[in-house]
Structure 1
Amino acid sequence: MRTLTDFVLRHKLVVCLSWLLVAVAGVLVTPGLSKALTADFSQPGQPGYEANQRIVDRYGSGGAVTPQVVVVRLPPGSTADDPALGRAFAAAADAVRGRAVSYADTRDPALLADSGRVTYGLVWASDRRAVPVGVVRAALPAGSSVQVTGLAQLTDSGGGRQGLSILTEVLIGAVGALVVLAFVFGSSLAALPVLLAGIAILGSFLLLRGLAELTEVNTVVQFVVALIGLGVSIDYALLIVTRWREERASTDNVGAVRRAMLTAGRSVLVSGVSVAIGLVAMVLVPVPVLRSIGLGGILIPLVSVLLVLTLLPVLLATAGPRLDWPHRPVGRNADRRWSGWARLVLRHRWAAAAAGLVVLLALAGAASGLRLGDPGTESSTATGPAAAGLQALRTAGVPTGVLAPIEVLAGDSAADALREIPGVVAVVTSEPGLLEVLPADEPSTDAGAETLRRVRDAVPESAQVGGPAAQSKDAISAIYDVFPLMLGLIALVTFAVLTRAFGSVVLAVKAVLLNLLSLAASLGALVLIWQYGYGSQLLGGLPALGSITEFIPAIVFAFLYGLSMDYEIFLLARIREEYDRTGSTPEAVVGGLGSTGRLVTSAALILALAFASLAAAPATELKVFASALAIGILLDATVVRALLVPALIGVLGSATWWSPQGLRATTTNSL
């Protein structure tokens, strides 16, 4: 670190011009970035995905896209045998350039309800066209009522609200961060980390544009890069600037810069490595969209660390004192309130450790109830025609599982065996070689998942099973079957990095275990809030989702693993420094927490504000993802870092610093 700092301070102009070029190039490529990204969520090689692709290629619609369900109530004196019914569904299919299946085609009584007064049919559109109710009604006997519903329509009719643009979200997060930084610094220096964050985001976008030329990158990556890049780069800059201000009390400005880079700079480097390690899990998952999020996410610590280790020391050395106006003497004195809190925790270390563990274990226990899959009808907030159609379906006694049929590429000979499966309402032929299995239960329920399993077991070996549920189930298997192995590998690598950084096996083990427990608790909070609905209305204006989209927990883990480890590194590095200076574990805890408590709290608040602005995105998945990260960061900065870490170090005492003979910390005085 000393060599790098000396180099950038000798070449200030080159460093500044280089980052200026990066920022300008980032500005130029950002407007066209969205066009270079893809909204594709393909899963090549997975049976459900391959079946759905074949269905779409052969029949032009369906596959992973759920149908629109047309509910018809006939007037008195009319029956479903009226040829007009067939003409009405044919008109619906023509209007959306797709295909339809109804009682008129199949004569299956399972498509009738309410003593034959109500009938329903399924219509698959070749694009996103909606079934025109007027066209269908015009073909039916006078007095017929027609309503259209469907899982996609129930999701869309929540209002069609447009979300905020990336620029708006970044500005909201930046303003929130600026307010926090103004409180922390009390000077114009508050604008410096925000400026660096802007450059980091532009640099990340520049690299993201290049990455898009090499491989497919999903559109969601630009949101993730922008908002997480904002929080991470500000946090790293905050760490170094805070230490620089402390060092100025005892040395000249350039000396303070060198000292800050030698200490806090090393912590930033270790922290960036930890964030990257967590994102490796995403790159190794055999699902393209998750791999692209992982690759894009790795750009965040790469650019942020490089920026604050090169440009920030130059800016502090040249303009730091002028920016720190009005200057408030800081020095190396620990915050008295945080020091007092540390002493209180140490006096009651067993009770504090027990309280923190109870909170985390209780939340982690809730994570065991995690249900993966797309949310069902119970989570819909729709109040328009789709909701009325759903109610009409329910009133007639039709189970809502028919909204998500299982599509089977097989001949009619397979239909009889499928009809015998418990949980199957009907099996109808929509096109030659394509069977529609209508389940009683929605795929987001346990019963619906069991029905899918039975269908797959019952079809001939040559058949293919498609539909949204099949593709979702395969995605879950692809993501999570290898997850335990990747989790163990990531934990092992992190352990090696932290052992090398702090020179203590015990500290490294404690850090990894606490981080994993904190992650489990964050997932438990996600389950309680979004799956069960304890706060989902407050945070996102949504009811309980009933299930969590399959890729969200994996993404939350990958990002939160490294981000929460940041605060562990910030705190432990300072505690290690104090221990090396005093030789006393209690004094090290008091000094470490007293020096970093305010810093960690501010950094966590900045990240949480960045994620809160991301939660304003229109997609439910982004709301869930962003709120889970915000809650996880706040939980980690409070219960874990402010309570459990000092309490457990107090319990362990001098055993905290045990390490094999010959191993020594490479980051002594690292914060």
Structure 2
Amino acid sequence: MSSVLYSLGRWAVRARRLVVAGWVVVLLLVGGAAGLLQQGLDNAVTIPGTESQEALDRLATTFPQVSGASAQVIVVAPEGGSIKDEPMRAAITDGVEALEDVSQVEVVTSPYDKQMPASISEDEQATLLTIQLDGDQGSITDATKDALHEEADALAQALPDGAEAHLGGQLFSSELPKMTLTEGIGLLVALVVLVLTLGSLVAAGLPLLNALLGVVISMGLLFAATALGPINSTTPLLAVMLGLAVGIDYALFIVSRHREQLGRGLGVDESIARATGTAGSAVVFAGLTVMIALVGLGVAGIPFLTTMGVAAAVTVGITVLVSLTLLPALLGFAGERLRPKPSRRARRAAAKAAAAAVAAGDEPEVTRRRADVMTAPEQKPNRFFAGWVRLVTKVPALTVVLVIVAMGALSFPATDLRLALPDAGVMAKEDPARVTYDLVSEHFGDGFNGPLIVTGSIVTSTDPVALMDDIGAEIEDLPGVADVPLSTPNQTADTGIIQVIPEGGPTSAATEDLVREIRAQHDHFLDEYGVDLSVTGFTAVGIDVSDKLGNALLPFALVVVGLSLILLTMVFRSIAVPLKATIGYLFSVGAAFGVVSLVFEHGVFAEALNVTRSGPVISFMPIVLMGILFGLAMDYEVFLVSRMREDYVHGGSAKHAITTGFQSSAKVVTAAAIIMIAVFVAFVPHGDMNIKPIALGLAVGVAVDAFVVRMIFVPAVLALLGEKAWYMPKWLDRVLPSFDVEGEGLARELSLADWPEPGATYAVATGDLEVSSRSGLIVGPVSVRVPDGGTLLVRGDATAPVSAFLLAVSGRLRVTGGVAKTAGLVLPERASSVRHNVAVIDSAAEGGHPAEAVRRALRDKPRVLVVDATETVGDLTARAELAQAVAGAQRAGVAVLLGSTGSAATDLAPSGTPVLDVSATARADSFSTERDQPINVTEQEVRA
């Protein structure tokens, strides 16, 4: 990974104009596609497989008058007046007729119509006109909505002085989220933090540009995707929020590593490539974890939530691509301007050194190099973070206990957290839909804002009207029912509906209990009346969505926690570190849920955060928050603990590695966390009520995860465990693939760039190479050089050492010791690339006639050809053909390695070909194919 990213970074710098032009073209193409294809967003929430949704789908066929979207107009008479007064009657009658003429309107109830009567308040001061539309909420056009507003306003104007009319209801119960200037405050905070962290306005601007480009391209793709299907209106806002946060953070990690390397005197191009290879590896890992968690939202089986997760995952993926390609190109344009300025003391020391060098007669080039070294900024440990880590690790057991107690207390309010789909009651108090909602509650009761529909097939009934009256009367007697204003069959008398008005509001616990009570009576109504009843309607759909999301929370949590354990075990090669990281993640989630519950359920700081109404939070908040926070938590774990592990594996003690690793990464992690918190908090004060609890939960979760879990709990646990923190069973270490996020492989490659000789190229070069199995050393140490186009005969007394050596240098078997390069690529780090450059032929597998296999392999133009088990080629004609094929390979400039057991195959190669005898290096009779990383090796390739 790190080697590939190093090459990508180097290419991006050299081709920076092409890279920038490429992204500009992508931006234009995506923008054009969005403008041509976008179909707009919707607020419809469907959830296949639930009772309410299935009943609603049936009603669309059997009783379309009540299955579509609906709206309400509440008309209130002047103080002391009545809706039955003649001026009120005339205005309302005209208003109903005008509303019925609006496109997509099916029917409008009237307080003066005996067949479809509108509800009238007990004091007769208010009436509630119900507007039934033809189509679901997503199919109602903006033109229809505008026309409804115009007619409602006209009705209000026609009413007597003191009377009022307001439009609201289900159709207007939610609105499309909008970006405001408040969200931009988060970007300003991010810019300030970046300037303070990076010390340069140019360096600070690059992460912002990186994030904005990723978000703009993602939004273009998202709006273009609306041509393929409906996308919920909350989806783009969530993607923007997450894209800005991770885009800035990912770029920050790469830019800060680049400046750190520039400060040590590294050249610009080389520093960019190394930063892309090292910090870029961690960015890829972090991005993948976020994307996997977001795509995992599909576990809930809810289409709109799956779409939301995929859209956010695509945004993160594009952000990662931009960070790994465009950012290195921009860093290349910035050039030396990003190099940290040396201190005055360093400049004075450099001047003295230069003067002394001139006096001593040094060459100008030597003088310049000394000055460069002297003027490189000093890498001093940060005193604040040094004191921080000493404090939290001084008595680690006490620190751990305090964190557990604090997190438990902060998480406790989460036990009161309730979920529901938001309605008009959470809108701003001056919004017309909210005004209607409040007036309905005032004059009719909360339940009229969320009526239930109970429906069933009555095709076998001989008296459908009486049947519906009887069922309606029974339901009216159930606890929690305020009224049953409508109980009727449809025109064809095959489907009946009962409109049930709950005592509680649409999101109240009492309404949830009533829905469950009616469903609990299902068998009773089936036995008594022969009717299979279902509960549906906008309110019931919201309850079912909340229930399904709540039920999916535990499976999703298990998937996320399991994924966390596996991924972190791969990265840190430890058992304790992943367990500790996962526990810390659960702390962060619990704290986020607890604070959200305090604010939205209990009203703590609700007014300050512009929370319009206390009560349940949006149903998908917990599962979305868990998915996103998982990825972000893994970011901080990787960036912080990977530096500790890097210092530990390079020979430091476990305790010292905690201190040095913390001091190296804590500043950047702190800056990244502050930026993320600022971006998320900016969406809270004036944000949409759908996104507000998610934004607040993410802000709290990130703050707790970065500053409590990762910077207090993690160092304390590692200090408590000591060396045991990095224990990894050998069998597990062999089974799990390695994910080199610290860039150790790249560092080794760079250190071996001029090995074995500067400027020299060898097809195969080894230095004290060793290959081992669990039973002992098979081959080693072996040192050999094979030039491009050269030939080497490898022989041994047994098959195992010969095959082991050949497979090791061809990238098919893991090198366990020493140094090895094949085709200029370091092993085992570049084993995958080596396998693409080396063709391996097993003579035994070819039936003792490998010549044709050699010719086929040469068509792919390998750098190296390996022919093993040549002793099995006993036929003289076959050996002659093989010798000709080998000669052809040599003429093509391909290096050839021939392996045999017993005597060397001198007849297959030119006279004087060197012979490598591996018999003396073999230390074990058995040969196990087990290795640290899975490598595709056939049984014919490995013979033991």
User: So what's the TM-score if we normalise by structure 1?
Assistant: 0.86
Give the corresponding residue for 1:475.
Answer: 545
Give the corresponding residue for 1:175.
Answer: 188
Q: Does 1:421 align with 2:468?
A: no
Distance 1:395 1:583 in 2: 71
Superposed displacement of residue 383, structure 1 = 5.3
Distance 2:607 2:173 in 1: 16
Whether contact under 8 Å (1:147, 1:388) holds in the other structure is no
Question: Residues 137-156 of structure 1 correspond to what in structure 2 (within 5 A)?
Answer: 148=166
Give the corresponding residue for 1:604.
Answer: 673
Distance 2:83 2:320 in 1: 71
Superposed displacement of residue 390, structure 1 = 6.6
Superposed displacement of residue 132, structure 1 = 3.5
Q: Does 1:623 align with 2:692?
A: yes
Superposed displacement of residue 497, structure 1 = 1.3
Give the corresponding residue for 2:649.
Answer: 580
Which sits farther off after the overlay, 306-315 or 193-202? 306-315
**2:298 is paired with a residue of what secondary structure?**
helix
Give the corresponding residue for 2:21.
Answer: 20
Give the corresponding residue for 1:233.
Answer: 247
Superposed displacement of residue 558, structure 1 = 1.8
Which sits farther off after the overlay, 264-273 or 170-179? 170-179
Q: 1:524 aligns with which of 591, 594, 604?
A: 594
Which sits farther off after the overlay, 403-412 or 23-32? 23-32
Distance 1:3 1:579 in 2: 25
Q: 1:123 aligns with which of 124, 130, 141?
A: 130
Letter in 1 for 2:486: T
Q: 1:590 aligns with which of 659, 682, 693?
A: 659
Distance 2:329 2:118 in 1: 74
Superposed displacement of residue 562, structure 1 = 0.7
Distance 2:309 2:435 in 1: 41
Letter in 2 for 1:441: G
Q: 1:276 aligns with which of 281, 286, 291?
A: 291
Whether contact under 8 Å (1:456, 1:465) holds in the other structure is yes
Give the corresponding residue for 1:291.
Answer: 306
Question: Residues 334-353 of structure 1 correspond to what in structure 2 (within 5 A)?
Answer: 334-353=381-400
Whether contact under 8 Å (2:599, 2:605) holds in the other structure is yes
Whether contact under 8 Å (2:632, 2:702) holds in the other structure is yes
Distance 2:121 2:741 in 1: 75
Whether contact under 8 Å (1:532, 1:544) holds in the other structure is no
Distance 1:10 1:549 in 2: 46
Q: 2:740 aligns with which of 654, 660, 667?
A: 667
Superposed displacement of residue 610, structure 1 = 2.1
Whether contact under 8 Å (1:567, 1:600) holds in the other structure is yes
Whether contact under 8 Å (1:155, 1:382) holds in the other structure is no
Distance 2:741 2:284 in 1: 14
Whether contact under 8 Å (2:34, 2:221) holds in the other structure is no
Distance 1:161 1:472 in 2: 18
Give the corresponding residue for 1:554.
Answer: 623
Which sits farther off after the overlay, 573-582 or 458-467? 458-467
Superposed displacement of residue 38, structure 1 = 2.6
Distance 2:439 2:250 in 1: 56
Whether contact under 8 Å (2:297, 2:556) holds in the other structure is no
User: So what's the TM-score if we normalise by structure 2?
Assistant: 0.63
**2:47 is paired with a residue of what secondary structure?**
coil
**2:41 is paired with a residue of what secondary structure?**
coil
Q: Cα 1:583–1:559, aligned 2, differ >3 Å: closer, same or farther?
A: same
Question: Residues 280-319 of structure 1 correspond to what in structure 2 (within 5 A)?
Answer: 280-316=295-331, 319=334
Superposed displacement of residue 86, structure 1 = 7.9
Q: Does 1:94 align with 2:97?
A: yes
**2:500 is paired with a residue of what secondary structure?**
strand
Letter in 1 for 2:564: T
Which sits farther off after the overlay, 297-306 or 336-345? 297-306
Superposed displacement of residue 531, structure 1 = 2.4
Q: 2:513 aligns with which of 442, 447, 450?
A: 450
Letter in 2 for 1:479: L
Letter in 2 for 1:22: W
State the number of aligned residues: 659
Whether contact under 8 Å (2:441, 2:447) holds in the other structure is no
Whether contact under 8 Å (2:190, 2:675) holds in the other structure is yes
Letter in 2 for 1:527: S
Aligned-pair identity in percent equals 27
Letter in 2 for 1:237: A
Whether contact under 8 Å (1:232, 1:304) holds in the other structure is yes
Q: Does 1:192 align with 2:206?
A: yes
**2:507 is paired with a residue of what secondary structure?**
coil
Give the corresponding residue for 2:576.
Answer: 506
Letter in 2 for 1:43: I
Q: Does 1:357 align with 2:396?
A: no
Whether contact under 8 Å (1:379, 1:546) holds in the other structure is no
What is the CA deviation profile of residues 142-164 of structure 1, one whole-angstrom value per residue up to 9, with x for unaligned ones?
899556586669978xxx99943
**2:130 is paired with a residue of what secondary structure?**
strand
Q: Cα 1:279–1:389, aligned 2, differ >3 Å: closer, same or farther?
A: closer
More strand by share: 2
Q: Cα 1:18–1:668, aligned 2, differ >3 Å: closer, same or farther?
A: closer
**2:690 is paired with a residue of what secondary structure?**
helix
Which sits farther off after the overlay, 261-270 or 340-349? 261-270
Distance 1:239 1:175 in 2: 19
Superposed displacement of residue 284, structure 1 = 3.4
Q: Cα 1:108–1:226, aligned 2, differ >3 Å: closer, same or farther?
A: closer
Superposed displacement of residue 447, structure 1 = 1.1
Give the corresponding residue for 2:710.
Answer: 641
**1:280 is paired with a residue of what secondary structure?**
helix
Distance 2:725 2:315 in 1: 32
Distance 1:325 1:333 in 2: 14
Give the corresponding residue for 1:5.
Answer: 6
Q: Cα 1:60–1:518, aligned 2, differ >3 Å: closer, same or farther?
A: same
More helix by share: 1
Distance 2:403 2:199 in 1: 33
Q: 1:490 aligns with which of 535, 560, 585?
A: 560
Q: Which has the larger radius of gyration?
A: 2
Q: Cα 1:320–1:529, aligned 2, differ >3 Å: closer, same or farther?
A: farther
Distance 2:172 2:233 in 1: 24
Q: Does 1:440 align with 2:447?
A: no
Q: Cα 1:96–1:559, aligned 2, differ >3 Å: closer, same or farther?
A: farther
Give the corresponding residue for 1:246.
Answer: 260
Note the residue ranges of structure 2 that are not aligned, 5 or more in a row: 134-143, 344-375, 457-463, 491-495, 745-944
Distance 2:486 2:651 in 1: 79
What is the CA deviation profile of residues 311-330 of structure 1, one whole-angstrom value per residue up to 9, with x for unaligned ones?
43444456442234656765
What is the CA deviation profile of residues 90-126 of structure 1, one whole-angstrom value per residue up to 9, with x for unaligned ones?
5554343354557755799996665x55464452353
Q: Cα 1:14–1:430, aligned 2, differ >3 Å: closer, same or farther?
A: farther
Q: Cα 1:74–1:666, aligned 2, differ >3 Å: closer, same or farther?
A: closer
Distance 2:96 2:32 in 1: 39
Whether contact under 8 Å (1:366, 1:524) holds in the other structure is yes
**1:538 is paired with a residue of what secondary structure?**
coil
Distance 1:650 1:151 in 2: 59
Q: Cα 1:424–1:107, aligned 2, differ >3 Å: closer, same or farther?
A: farther
Q: Cα 1:215–1:425, aligned 2, differ >3 Å: closer, same or farther?
A: closer
Give the corresponding residue for 2:854.
Answer: none
Question: Residues 68-107 of structure 1 correspond to what in structure 2 (within 5 A)?
Answer: 68-71=73-76, 91-97=94-100, 99-100=107-108
Letter in 2 for 1:124: I
Compute the RMSD of aligned alpha carbons: 3.7
Whether contact under 8 Å (1:85, 1:104) holds in the other structure is no
Superposed displacement of residue 571, structure 1 = 0.8
**2:405 is paired with a residue of what secondary structure?**
helix
Q: Cα 1:74–1:668, aligned 2, differ >3 Å: closer, same or farther?
A: closer
Which sits farther off after the overlay, 358-367 or 369-378? 369-378
Bigger relative contact order, structure 1 or 2, given CA contacts below 8 A and separation 6+?
1
